[in-house]
Amino acid sequence: MEKIAIVTDSTADLPAALVRELDITVVPLEVHFGEEIYKDWIDLGPRAFFEKLTSSPVHPRTSQPSPAEFEKAYRQLLERAATIFSIHISAQLSGTYQSAVLAKGMLPGADIEVLDSKTASMGLGLVVLEAARAAQQGLGRDSVKQRVTDTVNKMNTLLTVDTLDYLHRNGRIGRAQHLMGTLLNVKPILEVDRDGVVAPLDKVRGRQRVIPRLVELARERVGAGASVKVAVIHANAPERAQELARAAAAAFEVKELYTSELGAVIGTHVGPGTIGFAFFPT
C-alpha cells in the first residue's frame, strides 16, 4: 500500500469540485454566533455566512478543530493509505496546526507529516493542490514533501479589506488606526509574510487604486510577464474578483487561475468586500 493521502483544513477555501477531484480530506474549523455553532463550509457557506455576519447583532468567533477530529480523519485514511500529508493554515494565525500535531502523537507508528503552509485561504489551497497532484501522479513520499516545501517557499498572498471594522473588532489594529483609515478612505494592502503572519504592506487612497497596486506589488515579487499559478479570493465581491483576475491575466503568463470565495472562518476576520490573490512562480 503506497497511497499518499492529503489532508487540509477548511481555511484553504478550496472549491468543492477540486476537493472531490483530487480526493482531498478537509477538516473543518467552526464559527460561533453566540450559542450557535457552524462547521465552516459544511453548515455555513460563504453567502449564508456574509448575510448572517451583516445582520446578526452578535459578532462571530472562530475555533480550530480538536485533536480528536484530526485523529478520526487520520484513522480512516490509514485504512487505505500508507502516508498522510496534513497541510494547514499558518501556525501563527490559528491553533489548527498544533491540533494536527497532537493528533499525530495519538497515532504512534503512523506515517503522518504535519506541515505548516505559513499562509491562509487559497495560498494554503494552492499548496494543497500541488501536493494532491503530486500524489495523484504517483510521486514518492520525499518528492511530494519537496513539492510542498518548494511551493510554500515561493508562495505570495496579498489582500485588501474593504473596511477596517473587522480587523479592529478582532484586535488586529488599534482604535487610532481604525479611525484614521475610516476618515481618510485609506485602503490597506496586507500580506501573509514569510513567518506566516498577516502584516501591513502598503496603503492606497481610494478603492479604484487598489487592484492596480495589488498587481504592481505582485509584479515586483515575480517580475513582469512571469509564469505563475494564481488563485483570486474574495468575500462577497465577485465583480471585483473578476476585475483582479483579468488584471493578473494581463500582467503575467498565468498557467492556472482559480477563483474562490472566502469561507466563514477567514471571513470573520476580514469582513465582506475583501479581495486578494495568492500566487507563485512556476
Identical topology for domains 4-29+64-153 and 156-281: no
How is residue 33 written as a grid cell? Answer: 454566533
Q: What is the CATH number of domain 4-29+64-153?
A: 3.40.50.10170
Show the low-confidence residues of the chain (pLDDT under 50).
1, 172-176, 178-179
How is residue 154 written as a grid cell? Answer: 515561493
Separation of alpha carbons 210 and 216, rounded Å = 10
Q: What is the CATH number of domain 156-281?
A: 3.30.1180.10
| Residue 54: CB atoms within 10 Å | 10
Q: Tens digits of per-residue pLDDT, 170-184?
A: 554 444 454 455 556
Q: Which of 149, 214, 151, 227 is nearest to 188 (CA)?
A: 214
Domain range summary for the chain, segments of one domain joined by +: 4-29+64-153, 156-281
Q: Tens digits of per-residue pLDDT, 120-170?
A: 999 999 999 999 999 999 999 999 999 999 999 999 999 999 876 766 565
SS3 category, 235:
coil
Q: Which of 33, 32, 31, 30 is nearest to 55 (CA)?
A: 33
